[in-house]
Structure 1
Amino acid sequence: MNHPATSIRIQAACSELIWAARLNLLWIVFTLLGGVILGLGPATVAAYTLARRHGQGESFQAWPEFWTVYRREFVRASLLVLPAAVLGTILVGNYLYFSALGPGSGALRIATFVALIALAGVGAYLGPLYAHYDLPLWAYWPKASQLALMRPASSVLLLLALLAIAYATSAAPILAPVISFGAWIHLNTWLCLRFFAENETRLHSKGNS
Structure 2
Amino acid sequence: MSASSPPESALYEAILSRRSYSRVTDAAPKRSELLHLIAAAGRIADHGSLSPWRLIALRGKARERLGSALAKAARLNGDDASSLAAKPLRAPLLLAVVASYVPSEKVPRWEQEAVTSGVAHMLSLLLDDAGWGVIWRTGPHTRAKAVAKMHGLGKDEELLGWLYVGGMPDRTRSSHTKKVTPSAFLTTLR
TM-score for both structures, normalised by structure 1: 0.28
Q: Which has the higher helix share?
A: 1
Q: Which has the higher contact order (CA 8 A, sep 6+)?
A: 2
TM-score for both structures, normalised by structure 2: 0.30
Q: Which has the higher strand share?
A: 2
